[in-house]
Amino acid sequence: MVILEVKSLQKVYTSRFGGASVKALSNVSFAVEDGEFVAVMGESGSGKTTLLNILAALDRPTSGRVVLDDKDVSAVRDSQMATFRRENLGFVFQEFNLLDTFSNRDNILLPLVLSGIGVRQMEQRIGPLAKQLRIDGILDKFPYEISGGQKQRVAIARALITQPKLLLADEPTGALDSRSADDVMKIFQGVNRTGQTVIMVTHSVKAASCAERVLFIKDGEVYHQLYRGEQTDEQMYQRISDTLTLLTTGGDAE
């Protein structure tokens, strides 16, 4: 079943006084199956941040549509946007974006509090999730008391607690050392195995090699994609780096 469908997205930025216009996305189309783990790769300026902003319902496309679970995202009214995001999407950021005034538990519970969910249900949800992400021992500590890897796991828990249709991750390993990065990628794979759809934007070949499919974006278009199939992480790594070499040297893909 297709959970996310992106149809011929185009995004043109025009400067305020109508001068030069910049085409960030020229024509992007792809579909994501329910339970898929997709990595989006591309160089700086390739348009992947714009794509992610549009997927996050934060920015509106100039033309084209984003359909999440049969619902047209661009048709959601501005006033409903925050609620829509909170109910349907989970976010993981490079800089964790945890609030240091909250304990880790409260950071994770915040989206539920915003949705007005009762205390009992919150407690029911946080227990198994914390166990799964191995953060049950640090729930009552504060973000400034734990390591970067732990912070990212808390952030993942915060993204997952609303049981989102789509988990969007932006360079989730960008601020982590290699060991914590591996650890976090294992977590993503584990979360994905439980059926969670994940879309991750990354520069890191290592991180991308954990995904089932990798989309390459260049000059505002989907330039190429790779499927994992039966390959191991290592084989996937090799293919991704070959593709990236091609991408940057300008040759045609395969």
Partner 1 sequence: MKMGYYAKLAGSNLIKNRRMYLPYILTGGGLIGVYHIVNTLHRDERMDAIRGGSFLRSIMGYGVIVMSILAVILLLYAGSFLMKQRRREFGLYHVLGLEKRHIACILFFETLYSMLSSMALGLLLGIALYKACTLLVCRLLQVETIFGFYYINAGTLLATLVFFAALYALTFFGNCLHIARLKAVELLQSAQVGEREPKVKWPLFIGGFAALFGGYYIARTVDNPLVGISVFFIAVILVIIGTYLLFMAGSIVLLKWMKKNKNFYYRKRHMAAVSGMLYRMNRNAVGLASITILMTSVILMISATSSLYVGIEDSLKKGHPYDLVMRYYYYETAADGGKVIRALPEESMKEALETAAAENELAVSDVRSQRYLSCAFLWHDGRLTGDRSVMDGTENMADAMDMLDSIAEVVFITAEDYAAMTGLTIPLKNNEIAICNLSKGQLPTGRVLAIDQEELRIVKELEEFPVDVSSMLEVNIITQSYGIVVSSEEFQALYKMQKESYGEYASEIVTNMLCNFDDDSAAAEAQDRMRARTDELLRPMVKEAAEGEVVDDAIAFYWDSKYDTEEAMLETNGSLLFLGILLSVVFLFATILIIHYKQIQEGYEDSGRFKIMEKIGMTEREVRQTIRSQMLWIFFTPIAVAMLHNIMAFSILESMLKLFYLQDVRILIACMGISFAVFLLLYVIIYHITAKEYYNIVHERSVYGVSYFDR
The three-state secondary structure class of 3 is: strand
| The only residue of 53, 74, 225, 241 in contact with partner 1, by rule CB under 8 A | 53
Q: Which is nearer to partner 1, 72 or 95 (CB)?
A: 95
Least spacing, CB of residue 102 vs partner 1, in Å:
6
If we measure between CA atoms, which residue out of 155, 177, 140 comes closest to residue 98? 155
Q: Which is nearer to partner 1, 86 or 206 (CB)?
A: 86
Burial environment of residue 231 by CB neighbours within 10 A (0 to 12, 13 to 18, 19 or more)? middle
Residue 149, token pair as written in the block: 């890897």
* 128 CB burial (10 A radius; 0-12, 13-18, 19+): exposed
Question: Does residue 43 bind partner 1 (CB under 8 A)?
Answer: no
DSSP lists the bridge partners of residue 213 as 38, 227
Residue from 5, 43, 59, 219 touching partner 1 (CB under 8 A): that is 59
Q: Rounded to 5, what percent of the chain is helix, strand, coil?
A: 40, 25, 35
Over the window 62 to 81, marking each residue x when it contacts partner 1 by CB under 8 A and - when it does not, the resulting string is -----------------x--
Say whether residue 225 binds partner 1 (CB under 8 A): no
Looking at residue 133, what DSSP letter applies? T
Q: Rounded distance, CA 83 to CA 81, Å?
A: 5
Residue 106's Cα: distance from chain center in Å? 22
Task: Quote the least distance from Cβ 99 to partner 1, whole Å.
Answer: 6
Closest distance between partner 1 and the C-beta of residue 90, in Å? Answer: 9
Nearest-angstrom CA–CA distance, 245 and 139: 43
CA-based nearest residue to 52, from 95, 85, 80: 85
Contacts with partner 1: how many residues (CB under 8 A)?
37
Task: Determine the interface stretch with partner 1 among 3-11, 15-23, 46-54, 215-223 (rule: CB under 8 A).
Answer: 46-54
x/- string (CB under 8 A) for partner 1, residues 96-125?
-xxxxxx---x--xxxxxx-x--x--x---
User: Residue 254 corresponds to which tokens in the numbers above?
Assistant: 């395969």
x/- mask, partner 1, residues 161-190, rule CB under 8 A, reads ---------x--------------------
Should residue 160 be labelled a site residue for partner 1 when binding is judged by CB under 8 A?
Answer: no
Task: Determine which residue in the list 33, 72, 145, 242 makes contact with partner 1, applying CB under 8 A.
Answer: 145
Candidate list 7, 86, 165, 228; residue touching partner 1; CB under 8 A: 86
State which of positions 5-34 bind partner 1 (CB under 8 A).
Answer: none
